[in-house]
Amino acid sequence: MAQFSFPNQTKFYSGKVRDVYSIGEQLLVMVASNRISAFDVILPRQIPYKGQVLNQIAAYMLDATRDICPNWLLKVPAPQVSIGKRCVPFKIEMVVRGNLTGHAWRTYSAGGRELCGASMPEGMRENDYFPTPVITPSTKAEHGHDEDISPAEIIKQGLATEVDWQTLSDYALRLFNRGKEIAAKQGLILVDTKYEFGKIGDTIYLMDEIHTPDSSRYFYADGFEERQEKGERQKQLSKEFVREWLIANDFMGKEGQTVPTMNDEWIDTISKRYIELYEKVIGKSFKPVDISDEEIFELTSKSLASL
């Protein structure tokens, strides 16, 4: 995908999987590319329709949560493009966990009973539900990995005021509960996810993407309890299958490791899995759109002119 130059563009930033364009002082254009990353590394080949999948799931979820808090999204002029309000971001990610899995489980199994100021009760097994969802925030690193941080440290470091932290926490937990309700209708469990917020004036806005397979982990609800009782692995819906393939091929993003060759068959498999993710999370058939860079530019520019 080309790098665009939109009318009134003031800044361009290329992230691991998305390109972000600042338009004047008040708007952002976010283009979801077909790039895929794992272990903080952009993999060498792109995945057809991945950008459309993620952008459209995010738009669906942002629309489904507007009654909870304001969000940044204004328009979706093309399948992989979102236009929204430019906010001053909080330099923290609000990670919400409903189950003891991933980083939380690794901390727990190593003997830790607290993560980012949140208590984790004794006697839990991997993937068990927490008594109530917990917030385990992290700092947003400019380079390298994000770092765990407690609410007390967030306030102490001036990353958010005490009043803002209360609002962020309230929004995050309410968004997570809504996400769980949406997932349950699709036979899924929203296990954990992350939210990013920013401010315009004194108003806090939900930013970025939400409840997508790149930012969230889902389990299949059918058979969940039986698998827990037997100590079996849970069936999950996320991009974890890509990480597992990389690990099986001796790549974890460490120095000296080489990304394994991604052949056409594997690329096609990943693309089909992302489409499956869309259809399972949203409950609708995915309609792939083949669109040229010229059409993306034209549709986006036209939408910007109307704002």
pLDDT digits (tens, 9 = 90+) for 18-56: 999 999 999 999 999 999 998 888 999 999 999 999 999
Q: What pairs with residue 129 in β-bridges?
A: 99
- Six token digits for residue 185: 């209708």
Can you give the pLDDT at residue 237? Answer: 83
Q: What's the pLDDT tens digit per position in 213-223?
A: 888 999 999 99
Burial class (CB in 10 A: 0-12, 13-18, 19+), 227: middle
Return the SS3 of 121. Answer: coil
For 103-160, what is each residue's pLDDT tens digit? Answer: 999 999 999 999 999 999 999 999 999 999 999 999 976 655 679 999 999 999 999 9
What predicted TM-score, i.e. pTM, was given to this entire model?
0.92
Q: Does residue 297 come out as left (phi exceeding 0), alpha (psi in the -120 to 50 range) or beta?
A: alpha
Q: How far is CA 281 from CA 95, 213, 220, 238, in A?
A: 20, 9, 11, 10
Handedness of CA 57, 60, 63, 68 (dihedral sign): negative
d(CA 212, CA 173): 17
Residues comprising the chain, all counted: 307
Task: Give the chain's domains with CATH numbers.
Answer: 9-88+267-306 (3.30.200.20), 89-237 (3.30.470.20)
250-275 pLDDT tens trace = 999 888 999 999 999 999 999 998 99
